[in-house]
Structure 1
């Protein structure tokens, strides 16, 4: 939690520093391609207030993120997602607004580019969050079980070496490839005492199903505790049949 806090705090400080340098120190070189433009374009941008408004956008974004920062220490499940969403909306929306202050002959092009970037970015983020927040489901077949969704796969019962129902989730140390949000962990993570593991967990929704196979360590649960327990009992039953 504190690592996440300091990462977000660093983002806030970077936005503040860059915004302050542009507004107070006239460090216009921090604005992409500003110094590579012809002199007359630079003068028109300065006349329109484009650099100053760019700096103020960064400063305003930093202050809003700073206000939202304490959310990660509350029970609110989607604090990080809200913070990321607000930052993206403010920056992309802000750059669309800044197109209004572009040089006159490039204003239309700037609107088209900034709106296109916003649409593509929101589309990608929507897809990522939609897939990431889909709850994993376990399906038991005759000779194997399958976990659905992103990072899901299929394993043979004969591969299983251990099945256990845990009341507490072991400490997750680091994400190596996956979704690591405040409310979910999905994908490949390092777990204390278990090493590299495949997680499909909803945080703070015990119990957690631990499945060890010859090659993988899997942690899985549902927001519905009874469903997690059903998965455990069904797996145990299948393993008993196989013996």
Structure 2
């Protein structure tokens, strides 16, 4: 603490350590910010836990398949779908390029060997998953936390796609 020293980071008198000069306004702001950041850390885990446990929705409308993960929504029109597959496990070597990759939530843009880039909205712990390929060669990988619902949506999707051919 030295109000006459203009440096923000100062060397300790003994040893090789350094500290913040809290006599300066910028030193007080920096120390206050660090204290607030440290105090907020326990609440960060609670926030991240709530994000991972948000509902994952999967539904069919008259003209679309809709997958929702929290505030994200992915919609694919039936007329755009070239094919749909039911996967019992996730594709190999999935890499997140943008989005969320948590233990119980995958959401955003991913890429996988043999498929390429795809939009993903699912819980990786709850198979099966629906892989949709559009006529424009876009890929979507959807799932829900209810295997029965995912199978039911896939069966209904297949019926709608067969009727439109």
Give the alignment's TM-score, normalised by structure 2.
0.71
Q: CA RMSD in A?
A: 3.6
Q: Which residue of 2 aligns with 1:14?
A: none
Other-structure match for 2:157: 235
Question: What per-residue deviation string (whole Å, max 9, x for no partner) do you get for residues 107-132 of structure 1?
Answer: 75344322454578888887666445
Task: Give how far 1:195 is off.
Answer: 0.9
- Of the candidates 132, 137, 145, which is equivalent to residue 57 of structure 2? 137
Give the aligned length: 157
Structure number with the bigger relative contact order (C-alpha 8 A, sep ≥ 6) is: 2
Equivalent residue number for residue 193 of structure 1: 114
Deviation track 1:59-79 (CA, whole Å, cap 9, x = no partner) reads: xxxxxxxxxxxxxxxxxxxxx
Distance 2:15 2:55 in 1: 47
Match of 1:219 among 137, 141, 151: 141
Give the drift of 1:211.
Answer: 1.4
Q: CA deviation at 1:39?
A: 6.3
TM-score by length of 1: 0.51
Structure 1 residue 181: Cα displacement: 2.6
Equivalent-residue separation in structure 1 for 2:32 and 2:16 (angstroms): 17
TM-fit CA distance, 1:158: 0.8
Partner Cα separation in structure 1 for residue 45 and residue 100 of structure 2: 12
Question: Which residues of structure 1 form unaligned runs of 5+?
Answer: 1-36, 53-100
Distance in 1 between the 2:116 and 2:143 partners?
19
| Distance in 2 (alpha carbons) for counterparts of 1:40 and 1:165 | 60
From the two aligned structures, give the one with the greater strand fraction.
2
- Structure with the larger helix share: 1
1: CA distance, partners of 2:67 / 2:8: 60
